[in-house]
Structure 1
């Protein structure tokens, strides 16, 4: 039968660290093998103890929780990493997910939730708390908008009419502009969307939510 899950804890608030350690030590399936109050010590303990899971505060002195995560991944260590945070900043959550974080929870989560998250990530799962999920969604949406090509108001009108199936001459009549001008706007739209024909332009525009 497999033994308890070995865990290293890191938080720069001694009372919080003591509280979470005490709660986890009462679980028969978890064994706290190290505690740290800064990121450098946390990484040293991870390398020394080779724990199954490291539960690390995002904001630590010397090395942040993200720094520890990046180092664990860079060095190919087997330890799975759960980050805890008082504030789920969207950019930080996004970076952590990109770096391969196994869990991301609010420090407001109760001790049982944190213990259950440790079990889940040890089994190969990923745990994102509600705050982290919301922050990640916000960041992804913002990045999609930032990546969207900048179309002029007229180019957007032309794109919308293309999507409605109007021909070049019909678009010219609808907008009361010359056919040559429509062709110019259409080509500009194609260039900005990285396409060469109408159907592809509409598909890309829908995917990037340019027609909403």
Structure 2
């Protein structure tokens, strides 16, 4: 069961997402927050697997909340919600460590697929502006790859191609827990904080196409 929380200051939108989540047998609604500060309290209390978080909220916005959540020992997957796909705030949220972003007008099926996808360890990016976002997120330091071990390089390339932790484990013949450990090490060595940034790094440095 995937536990999903929502952080948004629009009660009607939150209610809609709650109904959508509760309609699925493999998803459970873990609560709602109306601002970033409440979102932090909610995550600490309920330990959701995934949180859908609006970027623009009072008290504490989604960017600041994402930064704080990333400092927790075992943070949830974070998918930020926005009205505009060409928005510097989106890039800022992804730089802060969000695992992806969705437009608020996304279809219910797309939202559900995104929740399941990030829970599996993938990055999720709304259509359009992908290359622009990648350029804004990537840090051109290809020499940093040299710091990775041979196994870490293998895991890095598989993750950069979009494989989930489960699929990486099957491909590389290692346990999923080991994949997660390698991903954490890779992110630390490359100075990255999320799967999205890993993909962007690989894309902009010509390591994958």
TM-score range, shorter chain: 0.5 to 0.7
* CA spacing shift, 1:132–1:96, aligned 2, 3 Å: farther
SS at match of 1:69: helix
Cα offset, 1:133, TM superposition: 2.0
SS at match of 1:28: coil
In the alignment, the residues of structure 1 paired with residue 58 and residue 125 of structure 2 have an alpha-carbon distance, to the nearest angstrom, of 24
Q: 1:79 aligns with which of 73, 76, 79?
A: 76
Q: 1:136 aligns with which of 133, 138, 141?
A: 133
- Indicate whether 1:34 and 2:31 are aligned: yes
Aligned residue in 2 for 1:10: 7
TM-score (norm 1): 0.60
Q: Where do 1:160-175 residues align within 5 Å?
A: none
Structure 1 unaligned regions, length at least 5 = 145-206, 208-212
Aligned residue in 2 for 1:67: 64
State the Cα RMSD in Å: 2.3
Contact 2:82 2:90 in 1 (8 A): no
Moved more, 121-130 or 89-98: 89-98
- Indicate whether 1:103 and 2:100 are aligned: yes
Cα offset, 1:137, TM superposition: 5.0
- Name which structure has the greater RCO, CA cutoff 8 Å, separation 6+: 2
Cα offset, 1:100, TM superposition: 2.3
* CA spacing shift, 1:75–1:133, aligned 2, 3 Å: same
Structure 2 unaligned regions, length at least 5 = 141-203, 205-209
Deviations 1:101-135 (A, max 9, x none): 11201001011211111111111111000145265
Contact 1:81 1:102 in 2 (8 A): yes
**Poorly superposed stretches of 4+, deviation over 6 Å:** none
- Indicate whether 1:126 and 2:123 are aligned: yes
TM-score (norm 2): 0.61
In the alignment, the residues of structure 1 paired with residue 2 and residue 117 of structure 2 have an alpha-carbon distance, to the nearest angstrom, of 11
**How many residues were matched structurally?**
141
Aligned residue in 2 for 1:175: none
